[in-house]
Amino acid sequence: MSDDVVLGHPTPAAVTDRICGIVLHERVGLWWWIALAASSALLGLGVVSVGWLFWKGVGVWGIDWPVVWGFAIINYVWWIAIASGGTFISALFFLVRVDWRTSINRIAETMMLCAAASAGIYPILHLGRPWFFYWLFPYPNTMTLWPQFRSPLLWDFMALLTYVVASVLFWYFGLLPDLAAMRDRARGRGAQMFYGVLAFGFRGTGGQWRHYKAAYGIMAALMAPLVVSVHSVVGLDFAGGETTGWHSTQFPPFFVFGALLSGFATVILLVIPMRHYFSLQTYITERHFDALGKLMVVSSLCMAYAYIMDVFTTFYGPDPADKTMFVARMFGRYAFVYWSTILFNVLLPQLLWVRRLRLNQPVLILVCLGAIVGMWFERVEIVVTSLHRTTLPSAWGDYWPTFWDWALMAGTIGLFLTMFLLLIRIVPTMSIAEMRELVRKREA
Amino acid sequence: MIVAGFGSAEALRRAVASLAPEGARVETFTPDDLDEATEPTKSSAVPIIMLGAGLLGGFGFFALQAYGTMSGYPINVGGRPDFSWPPFIVNAFEFGVLCAIGAGFLGFFAINRMPKLFIAEDACDELREASRDGWFLSVRGGDPKRVRALLDSVGPIALKEWPE
């Protein structure tokens, strides 16, 4: 196996031509059109289900007492976790100067953007009266009301708003030199104007580079703690409530661990087909799969620690309601959810201890799909099984999603895939500027 | 105006160094940061702008929350004092980061006077190579003959001269 992050010795010019060429000069394969048709169909289903939701209200979902948080929260947390994993790769690994990050950074960032969009629509939709969502923001109003600043739900609004805006700006800022390269390589007048306007006149002058590098570095340094804070706040949405199974101090790091696992898994699942269909074997090598596979193992072990602590604190603690709920979680009617979580998030990723399996793409795809499904089950476990056995036995109840729950979830998957498929046809799939720098430094 | 391109960063650096005593205005156009290796001490104002905006946003939002809970709409939650400030830190941090990143983004464009979609140097078609693997410079002012002779001595791969 080669440990190189780039195979052979491509020149900076070859790197630029290859990556620009994918978008500017190469025709897309049939696979892209099929994928776009399928994802658009899912997106269409999502639009219909949002329309129906607005028309009828949240009663079209399966939520009711005592399980008042259902798919909207489950899927919001699931998507925002996937997005967060992308930010870790693009920001944290930039700060520690990991060389293999360069090839997959743009894929991770684009994934983050699409997942954040899919996450971002849920908090609005789950409000009973979504048209009043702006009441969450402290603005001067005739009711002289203020939002409750001590509530984790308001923190979540601020954290998500900051995360989505900052992600878009960070992604776009990183694109500037590449958009300039696209402008200069484009042949048609329309493409030249399109990329010319998007590049804002970036020409790589001495001043532009100096300020660009300084700003990008600090943005990355801010994005890394931001993403930890965002997912910690999501954990606090739960931990802040005095609900069985939620009221735990380990929730913020527990949620961040989950974000790592599902984010890395999604990046791998996107990198494998893109490497194949865009023939990027020169730039995405076995080294990348090796490194990402190891990260899967690390984040899976972190999850295992969190699951063990979840059991330990419950049964070591004094609350009988907590213990009753946890027994129901492990052996009740939702036991399959709990054990699927353990299987997919803890046991299956252990395969990747073996180097040969890390480099085996079918195995890697299987483990990553498992982790994404497992992380979704984990959110079902946290939301549904905690609520369905509350402290008051007379209030116990079940939850099953309706067709419209599933339809909206399919719609967000459609939104994610449609956005991603369109973006990889518009912007370079790799950071050209960083890749040029990488190959230049290697040759030096 | 003269626009000249070179095959390597070293050649461009030599050209820039040789032009230094001429008193001409020199601007470089490069596929990567030319200064990084040679002039790491040259600083940027963007970090200071980001720091200022981040602190202003963070402390500003903290003050807004303090005003809202103490004066605007005091409400007793579990017997806590109105100025129960630790929970305010989360929002203050988030808003501070938002302001810092926003200021970095906008500050970069403001300092570089962007967007600037067209510049005089665009008349030289070869300048497009500056976003690929060409190392270019443009020279305004100075004695054109001397400047041209100096550039020729370094060995440009492209050179274009036209009246300003």
Per-residue pLDDT tens for A265-296? 999 999 999 999 999 999 999 999 999 999 99
C-alpha span between A402 and A379 (Å, rounded) = 17
C-alpha span between B48 and B50 (Å, rounded) = 5
- Residues of chain B with Cβ-Cβ distance to A13 below 8 Å are 132-133
B114/A205 CB distance under 8 A: no
Residue B77 is predicted with a pLDDT of 81
A155/B91 CB distance under 8 A: yes
Which among B10, B12, B8 is positioned nearest to B139, based on CA atoms? B12
Domain with CATH 3.30.70 in chain B: 2-35+123-161
Cα A105 to Cα A55, A401, A416, A433: the distances in Å are 41, 36, 18, 12
B101/A170 CB distance under 8 A: yes
Q: Which residues contact A152 (CB under 8 A, 6 or more apart)?
A: A233, A236, A237, A239, A240
Nearest CA-CA distance, residue A94 and chain B, Å: 16
- Residues of chain A with Cβ-Cβ distance to B75 below 8 Å are 148
Percentage of chain A with pLDDT > 70?
99
CATH match of B2-35+123-161 with 1.10.3470: no
Let me know: does A104 contact A5? Beta carbons within 8 Å.
no
Q: Longest C-alpha distance within chain A, in Å?
A: 72
Q: What are phi and psi of A67, to 5 degrees?
A: -90, 85
Q: At what angle do helices B88-111 and A206-239 cross, to 10 degrees?
A: 160
Nearest CA in chain B to A148: B69
Let me know: does A108 contact A220? Beta carbons within 8 Å.
no
A436/B32 CB distance under 8 A: yes
A146/B28 CB distance under 8 A: no
As a whole number of Å, the end-to-end CA separation of chain A is 24
* Total Cβ atoms within 10 A of residue A402: 15
Which among B147, B117, B154 is positioned nearest to B8, based on CA atoms? B154
Residue B36 is predicted with a pLDDT of 65
Domain boundaries, chain A: 31-137+146-167+196-423
pLDDT band (50, 70, 90) for residue B144: confident
User: In which residue ranges of chain A is pLDDT below 70?
Assistant: 1-2
Nearest by CB: B98 against A154, A166, A204: A166
Return the residue in A24, A97, A185, A209 with the most chain B beta carbons within 10 A, the one to mutate for interface testing. A209
The per-residue pLDDT for range B41-70, each reduced to its tens digit, is 578 899 999 999 999 999 999 999 999 999
A210/B28 CB distance under 8 A: no
Q: Longest C-alpha distance within chain B, in Å?
A: 82
C-alpha span between B10 and B13 (Å, rounded) = 5
ipTM of this complex prediction, to 2 decimal places: 0.94
Q: Which CATH number fits domain A31-137+146-167+196-423: 3.80.30.10, 1.10.357.10, 1.20.1630.10, 3.30.1110.20?
A: 1.20.1630.10
pLDDT band (50, 70, 90) for residue B40: low
**Burial of residue A148, with CB atoms counted within 10 A of its CB: 0-12 exposed, 13-18 middle, 19 or more buried:** middle
